[in-house]
Amino acid sequence: MSVSLMKKVNKLYNETMALADPRADDYPFTDSPLINTLHVIFYLLIVVYVGPRLMKNRKAYNMREIIVTYNFLMVAFSSYTFYELLAGGWANGYSLVCQECDFSRSPQALRMQRACFLFWMSKHIEFFDTYFFVLKKKTNQITFLHVFHHSYMAYIWWWGFKFTPGGLGTFHAPINSLVHVIMYIYYGISAMGPSYRKYLWWKKYLTALQMVQFCTTTAHLLNILLFNDCNYATAFVYILLASGIVFFILFADFWVKTYSKQRQQQVDSQLCKRSGKPEEQEIYSKKHN
């Protein structure tokens, strides 16, 4: 990289950071995007490369008690974040039509900022979801959707907190926090063992709820862009809009691959049992095992 180009990049960076919310200086890890970026890179290296190789010739760890405790602690943390996001604005005067970010030091504005910080922190804590998959050798659960969602949300929310910790761009945060309350209840029950799996018949409805959240937030942002002239960072609106669309497509693809396949397996199993033919049962067994 030439000296001239480095100077231009540095100038652009300084000009961009000059637009940041000065109140963010009151919080840790917000001076620059370096720590946030390095932690996301560390996460990707661990779950994609280092972890699987370290665990290749090792037995999966039995971490039931730790994982159950972690999941229910995340239920509590997500519940608290959800409450604070509502109290900071979304149930305390925020407009669904056009809500600008309040950069003042009023009690409510500062409360919303703290809630946004908690939400951003939660995205880094949630990296443990994947670390546990690695240690348990549940590689089938470390999908592109899972890894992309975790790393993207942790990375992008640093910028959200640094520049616009409040206003219409945070509309998805309380919805996401509520979804995560339900999600970690599911994970917690699942981690308690096979005898509790009978209570988890509602997994596909959890996936449907996640898709609904993306539809809701996308519709909200489209309404802002198309029908309301709102004084809010346009770049963030477009980033959030694109994120909602991409995540909906990825979750929809997951739905089709997971639940359509399960449905087909059920149909094949029923046909196989009705036929009573050993050769067909053998074919079914090879196909699905």
Given pLDDT bands bounded at 50, 70 and 90, which one contains residue 118? very high
What's the average model confidence in pLDDT over 82-88? 98
Does pLDDT of 20 surpass 50? yes
Separation of alpha carbons 133 and 126, rounded Å: 12
Separation of alpha carbons 255 and 209, rounded Å: 11
**DSSP code of residue 167:** S
**Is residue 190 packed enough to be buried (19+ CB in 10 Å), middle (13-18) or exposed (0-12)?**
middle
| Least-confidence region, from 59-63, 96-100, 124-128, 274-278 | 274-278
The percent of residues above 90 in pLDDT, for the chain, comes to 78
Tracing tokens 């231009």 back to the chain, one arrives at 8
Q: Which residues contact 256 (CB under 8 A, 6 or more apart)?
A: none
Does pLDDT of 286 surpass 50? no
What's the average model confidence in pLDDT over 81-99? 96
Does pLDDT of 29 surpass 60? yes
166: helix, strand or coil: coil
Write down the pLDDT at residue 197.
87
Separation of alpha carbons 62 and 96, rounded Å: 46
Cβ–Cβ < 8 Å for 191, 64: yes
Write down the pLDDT at residue 227.
80
Given pLDDT bands bounded at 50, 70 and 90, which one contains residue 25? very high
Where exactly are the structural domains of the chain?
27-261
What pLDDT, in 10s, does the model give residues 166-202? 999 999 999 999 999 999 999 999 999 999 989 999 9
What's the average model confidence in pLDDT over 14-18? 92
Write down the pLDDT at residue 274.
54
Q: Is 172 among the catalytic positions?
A: no
Catalytic residue among 124, 146, 149, 172: 149
More reliable by pLDDT, 279 or 119: 119
What's the average model confidence in pLDDT over 10-34? 94
Count of all residues that appear for the chain in the document: 289
Write down the pLDDT at residue 266.
53
SS3 track for the chain: CCHHHHHHHHHHHHHHHCCCCHHHHHCCCCCCCHHHHHHHHHHHHHHHHHHHHHHCCCCCCCCHHHHHHHHHHHHHHHHHHHHHHHHHHHCCCCCCCCCCCCCCCCHHHHHHHHHHHHHHHHHHHCHHHHHHHHHCCCHHHCCHHHHHHHHHHHHHHHHHHHHCCCCHHHCHHHHHHHHHHHHHHHHHHHHCCHHHHHHCCCHHHHHHHHHHHHHHHHHHHHHHHHHCCCCCCHHHHHHHHHHHHHHHHHHHHHHHHHHHHHHHHHHHHHHHHHHCCHHHHHHHHHHHC
Separation of alpha carbons 204 and 196, rounded Å: 17
Q: Which residues contact 162 (CB under 8 A, 6 or more apart)?
A: 20, 21, 24, 30, 33
What pLDDT, in 10s, does the model give residues 229-281? 888 988 899 999 999 999 999 999 988 888 876 555 554 455 445 555 554 44
**DSSP code of residue 228:** -
Write down the pLDDT at residue 156.
97
pTM of the predicted model, to two decimals?
0.88
Mean of the per-residue pLDDT values of the chain: 90
What pLDDT, in 10s, does the model give residues 129-153? 999 999 999 999 999 999 999 999 9
